[in-house]
Chain A
């Protein structure tokens, strides 16, 4: 297995994370201005959605979803029938995990003559997210990764392999992506590091937290504001008792609006005996999750389920959310989440009862 030190030697130095973040925010704002000037111009809405995806992915800025939904509403009002608009609406729906809507818009886009490559790419993403047609998705992912050698394709393939429990194969693909990377944008590199952390910290059947922590640290070194990487690393620090380190990771990102930050910080503060602030953070986490679930239920159902099954302390709500998520995208992971939450209740009867809670949306 390639070591981190060996990989570091092979990776091209990238643009400083602070500059990249400023530039992304700068260009995100500018893309919105261009959108407001002429929402129907080719490529403008697509650019906004691309920037908002990066903002959501790397900064945990959950209001990005509100913004793209507003964009979709405006586009829908202006030009409901064009293939191009349908494709954008499908992207937005997919981003919010409204996969059924996304498929509907995708069919509209395809019928209207949207470029086949764009339709196929999005359909592949939706199939993968929903755990559908996985054999053909795997074939397509392998083909794309071989043909393009790009980090985006490699991450998609690695993520699929990890979902299929091919952990070593996923590890290999991610590392190949790092070695093949020749650009200066830090985002793709940071993402691969994060995926490696996720692979060994969360997905592997036998977690290797020390290894995962190394990858998360690499992601944060490249992109200091990488919210998800900070949260996951803080969890590892917290579980091995390094509470101050965990707190230091989360403090700089408490204002990004991701309730998971409040939740994890609340747990860390409680473990340090700082009960007053912990309580306030937990309240913020609770109201933050509920607010998100009200606006984007499908996008945050799995996160909400995790929260309520742990510190949120509401098994019934946790199971309800986990089932909504599994119903929306019945992947192995989401079904396992339902099972885990159901069986983690106090006793078998409760688990049975919880498991039969009707799914409500």
Chain B
């Protein structure tokens, strides 16, 4: 999600908001190249593509026009373009979810019909192109807390995105004999002009990760938000009169990033070269060289350092792009900066479409009961982590005390449940716990709180989980019964409020 919500304008329609662009060698066939783009940050499980947007990749052959302090990548004029457009929804089978179709337009003008979320995708009859479009687990991970350089958890945990994956025969599509180094961008553009023919401006585009949010959008480098202005530039052809504006911002931003660890690793000259390279924003990849999980930005770095690049650069699904970028900006590869996470929620796979299957939506069961007794009286009974007050508990054994305490519960029907206390705050009568075993669910967390209401109190008990090896409905019934029967048992003890 390195480009997500990268300007006020993207917040309008999340399905047009680009998050990440990838270019890598196909894990299934080294002769094929894969381009992938993600849109719709934090998409829910029912997300669909906009039918008013052209989702496109544009590739240009690039030459290394200078090394070292003269480092420069020059894109050619010829553009190889792949774009996808999506239809209105159609009704699925009776009672089923709506279905969305679309069309991929190939560089030679041929079209390939696609059906959103069809796992195997669609291929052209000659097998040159294969296309997938649909919901996937977000392959991006970001585990730094800004400002500063502080490790944190993966901020995109359990997130999904809509993605378009196009795999093609690199030899036939790119003709690498004429040059194997390419720059690629992805863009979202309103599909149709209005009736009087006025073409609306581009909504979003992305080249290298984090051009907008980390580099141009660095608020410590300037107060004015330049991200929408950047997004409306034509890729491969930034307006000459605006280049000084973006150059000034990038210079201030990269200087600021350099000093985030308190050490100046970039000389003014080297910083200016780096700015020049990032100003030409396209994702570089070389189909004649290996693209690996660690080769991202190697082409740029080698060229700036005055030597020929050794890898295919690009960006694989599992590339740790944020840490690679942070390390380069903050200490110029003096010491690798590892964020607080080492992988996305689900790593990419070696099987088309290479981005992992979407994450299931966490299920929530929430129950509450209004009681006539004061909150403190109710909390005195249920506020300890000991669940012996619960009518479905035959026996409970407590291990340890405070946060980290375990409760081993034997239910009246003989099942064993083990839960761990994660947080407790008696001052607000609240605790949070995690299920270790016993409930057919993963990522299970529960919260229980007692609050004043009217002259009495309300007890709120909530659980969130992913069903594991059981249908959602079965797990929901189990959890709901546990919560509801527990809360119902409080009514005769404390009086049910009317």
> Could you say which residues of chain B place their CB within 8 Å of the CB of A19?
15, 48-51, 88-89, 100
In the bound complex, CA of A184 to CA of B54 (Å)? 11
Q: How large is the interface on B (under 10, 10 to 19, 20 to 34, 35 or more residues)?
A: 35 or more
B43: which of A18, A20, A26, A77 is its contact (CB, 8 Å)?
A: A26
B464 within 8 A of A: yes
Which of chain A's residues have a CB closer than 8 A to the CB of B42?
27, 30-31, 34
Q: Given A19-B15, A184-B16, A184-B190, do A27 and B43 touch, yes or no (CB 8 Å)? A: yes
* Interface: B451 (CB within 8 A): yes
20 new A-B pairs (CB below 8 Å) besides A12-B52, A23-B46, A26-B44? A8-B195, A19-B48, A19-B89, A23-B15, A23-B40, A23-B44, A25-B46, A29-B361, A30-B43, A31-B42, A33-B362, A33-B464, A34-B42, A37-B158, A77-B428, A77-B449, A78-B428, A184-B13, A184-B52, A188-B12
Q: List 14 A-B contacts (CB under 8 A).
A: A8-B195, A16-B51, A22-B47, A25-B46, A30-B43, A33-B361, A33-B364, A36-B362, A37-B157, A37-B158, A182-B190, A183-B203, A184-B53, A185-B13
The distance in angstroms between the C-alpha atoms of A275 and B464, with both chains bound, is 46
Contacts of A45-85 to chain B: CB distance below 8 A: 73, 77-78
Q: Considering the complex of A and B, which 7 residue pairs feature the smallest CB-CB distances, nearest first?
A: A26-B44, A185-B12, A185-B13, A9-B195, A15-B50, A30-B44, A183-B12
Interface string of B188-205 (1 = CB under 8 A from A): 001111111010110100
Interface residue? A13 (CB, 8 A) = yes
Q: Which residue of A lies closest to B89 (CB)?
A: A18
Q: How large is the interface on A (under 10, 10 to 19, 20 to 34, 35 or more residues)?
A: 35 or more
Instruction: Give the interface of B toward A (CB within 8 A).
Output: 8-9, 12-16, 40, 42-53, 88-89, 98, 100, 155, 157-160, 190-196, 198, 200-201, 203, 361-362, 364, 428, 430, 445, 449, 451, 462, 464
A184 near B14 (CB under 8 angstroms)?
no
Residues of A within 8 A of B (CB): 8-16, 18-20, 22-23, 25-34, 36-37, 41, 73, 77-78, 150, 182-185, 187-188
User: How many angstroms from the CA of A324 to the CA of B46 in the assembled complex?
Assistant: 42
Inside 8 A of A8's CB, which chain B residues have their CB?
195
Name the residue in A18, A78, A182 with the highest tally of chain B Cβ atoms < 10 Å from its Cβ: A182
- Closest beta carbon of chain A to B45's beta carbon, Å: 7
Task: Let me know if A23 and B449 touch, CB within 8 A.
Answer: no
The residues of A that contact B362 with a CB separation of less than 8 Å are: 33, 36-37
**Quick one: given A33-B464, A34-B42, A36-B462, are A15 and B52 in contact (CB under 8 Å)?**
yes
Complex CA distance for A9 and B193, rounded to whole angstroms:
10
Which B residue's beta carbon lies closest to that of A18? B89
Query: How many angstroms between the C-alpha atoms of A32 and B364 in the bound complex?
Result: 10
Q: Give every chain A residue within 8 A of B13 (Cβ-Cβ).
A: 15, 20, 23, 183-185
Whether the Cβ atoms of B194 and A12 lie closer than 8 Å is: yes
Complex Cα gap A16–B51 (Å): 6
Chain A residue with the shortest CB-CB distance to B423 = A78
Given the complex, which residues of B lie within 8 Å of A78, measured CB to CB?
428
Most-contacted residue by chain B among A73, A77, A150 (CB, 10 A): A77
Least CB distance, A73 to chain B, in whole angstroms: 7
List residues of chain A with CB within 8 A of the CB of B89: 16, 18-19, 22
The reply to whether B48 and A33 form a contact with Cβ atoms under 8 Å apart is no
Closest to B427 in A: A77
**Cα distance A165–B201 when bound, in Å?**
35
Q: Are B46 and A26 in contact (CB under 8 A)?
A: yes
Please report the C-alpha to C-alpha distance between residue A187 and residue B13 in the assembled complex, in whole angstroms. 9
Contact status A16-B44, CB under 8 Å: no
**Taking the nearest CB of chain A, how far is it from the CB of B91, in angstroms?**
11
Shortest C-beta distance, A214 to chain B (Å), equals 17
Residue of A nearest to B10 (CB): A183
Which residue of A has the minimal Cβ distance to B463? A36
Complex CA–CA separation, A184 to B451 (angstroms): 44
Interface of B is mostly: loop
A310 to B8, CA, bound (A): 43
Choose among A8, A10, A183 the residue with the greatest number of B CB atoms under 10 Å from its CB: A183
Which of B50, B88, B191, B193 is packed against the most chain A CB atoms within 10 Å?
A: B50
Give, as a whole number of angstroms, the nearest-CB distance from A13 to chain B.
5
Min CB distance, B136 to chain A, in Å?
Answer: 14
Nearest CB in chain A to that of B47: its residue = A26
Residues of A contacting B191 in the complex (Cβ-Cβ under 8 angstroms): 13
The answer to whether B47 touches A23, judged by C-beta atoms less than 8 angstroms apart, is yes
* Residue with the greatest number of chain A CB neighbours at <10 A, chosen from B155, B160, B193, B445: B155
CA A15 to CA B159, docked complex, whole Å: 23
For the complex, give the distance between the alpha carbons of A36 and B157 in Å.
13
Q: Which residues of B contact A9 (CB under 8 A)?
A: 194-196
CA distance A15 to B52 in the complex (A): 5
Contacts of B464 in A (CB 8 A): 33, 36-37
> Which of B14, B53, B155 contacts A23 (CB under 8 A)?
B14
Known contacts A23-B40, A77-B451, A183 near B9 by CB under 8 Å: yes
Contacting residues, chain B, for A188 (C-beta < 8 A) = 12
Q: How far is the CB of B231 from chain A (nearest CB, A)?
A: 12
CB distance from B305 to the nearest CB of A (A): 37
A184 touches which one: B12, B155, B158, B462 (CB < 8 A)?
B12
Min distance, Cβ B379 to any Cβ of chain A, angstroms: 13
Q: How far is the CB of B332 from chain A (nearest CB, A)?
A: 29
Name the distance in Å between B114's Cβ and chain A's nearest Cβ.
Answer: 16
Chain B residues within an 8 Å CB radius of A77: 428, 430, 449, 451
Contacts of B88 in A (CB 8 A): 16, 18-19
In the complex, the chain A residue whose C-beta lies closest to that of B100 is A19
Q: Are A13 and B52 in contact, with the CB atoms below 8 A?
A: yes
Residues of B contacting A28 with CB < 8 Å?
44
* Residue on B nearest A12 in the bound complex, by CB: B200
Chain A, residue nearest B428 (CB): A77
Q: How far is the CA of A11 from the CA of B194 in the complex (A)?
A: 6
Q: In the assembly, what is the distance between CA of A78 and CA of B428, in Å?
A: 8
List A contacts of B158 (CB < 8 A).
33, 37
Partner among A14, A33, A34, A41 whose Cβ is within 8 Å of the Cβ of B52: A14
- B15, B200, B361: the one contacting A182 at CB < 8 Å is B200
Q: In the complex, what distance in Å separates the CA atom of A11 from the CA atom of B190?
A: 12
**Is A184 in contact with B428, judged by CB distance below 8 angstroms?**
no
Q: How far is the CB of B333 from chain A (nearest CB, A)?
A: 30
On chain A, the residues within 8 Å of B12 by CB distance are 183-185, 187-188
Contacts of A27 in B (CB 8 A): 14, 40, 42-44, 47
Given A33-B464, A77-B430, A77-B451, A16 and B196 contact (CB-CB distance below 8 Å) = no
* Known contacts A15-B52, A30-B361, A184-B16, A10 near B194 by CB under 8 Å: yes
Residues of B within 8 A of A37 (CB): 157-158, 362, 464
Please indicate the chain A residues that have their CB under 8 angstroms from the CB of B190 in the complex: 12-13, 182-184
Shortest CB-to-CB span from B49 to chain A, Å, is: 8
Nearest neighbor of A184 in chain B, beta-carbon distance = B52
User: Closest residue of chain A to B364, judged by CB?
Assistant: A36
A residues near B462, Cβ cutoff 8 Å: 36
For the complex formed, measure the closest distance between the CB of B59 and the CB atoms of chain A, giving whole angstroms: 25
CB-CB under 8 A from A185, the residues of chain B are 12-13
Task: Known contacts A182-B190, A182-B200; decide if A15 and B43 are in contact (CB<8 Å).
Answer: no
B45 CB contacts on chain A under 8 angstroms: 26
CB-CB nearest in chain A for B462? A36
A9 and B45 CA atoms in complex are apart in Å by: 35
Q: Which residues of B contact A11 (CB under 8 A)?
A: 194
The distance in angstroms between the C-alpha atoms of A168 and B303, with both chains bound, is 61
